Amino acid sequence: MPPTERSETRPLLFLGNPYRIHVDGETGGRAYCLVEAEGPRGGMPPLHVHRIDDEAFYVLEGNLRLFVGDGELEVGAGRCAVAPRGIPHTYRVESETARWLVIGSPAGFDDFVGEVADAGEAVGPEELTEISGRYGIQILGPPGMLPTQV
């Protein structure tokens, strides 16, 4: 198979934050996807667990604190951490802003991000829970809740 390059990425607004899909599932042969994310200090998604895919977080700028199961890790620029499937996790932006890459394997996270972004800024907890369920992601609690509180 010849190499492919995606020269265009569609800017998305995912839960109020700028995201870009650099490698979608189709381009990655459904084996993986690559999504770029940005967030402000304190930004934190709902506590959740992926049932189908593993996630790796590679920080480009700033700092994230990743909460996975009963552990936590600060991940700074140039560092990477993994949230394995089946283990509840969330993260929080610790710096003024942060920018990071999410590698999902197998692909699917890219489709989830696209569907939530297409639903618009008015996505509430019930709709987010419904959409995430279609991608094997279970919402366990609101933003701010940690895996140790489940």
Domain range summary for the chain, segments of one domain joined by +: 11-141
- Per-residue pLDDT of the chain (150 residues), as tens digits, is 566 666 567 789 999 999 999 999 999 999 999 999 999 999 999 999 999 999 999 999 999 999 999 999 999 999 999 999 999 999 999 999 999 999 999 999 999 999 999 998 889 999 999 999 999 999 999 999 999 998
121: Cβ contacts below 8 Å, ≥ 6 apart: 13, 16
Query: Quick one: pLDDT at residue 102?
Result: 98
At residue 116, what are phi and psi to the nearest 5 degrees? -65, -45
CATH code of the region 11-141: 2.60.120.10
Query: Quick one: pLDDT at residue 11?
Result: 87
User: What is the number of other CB atoms lying within 10 angstroms of the CB of residue 3?
Assistant: 4
Measured distance CA(84)–CA(65) in Å, rounded: 16
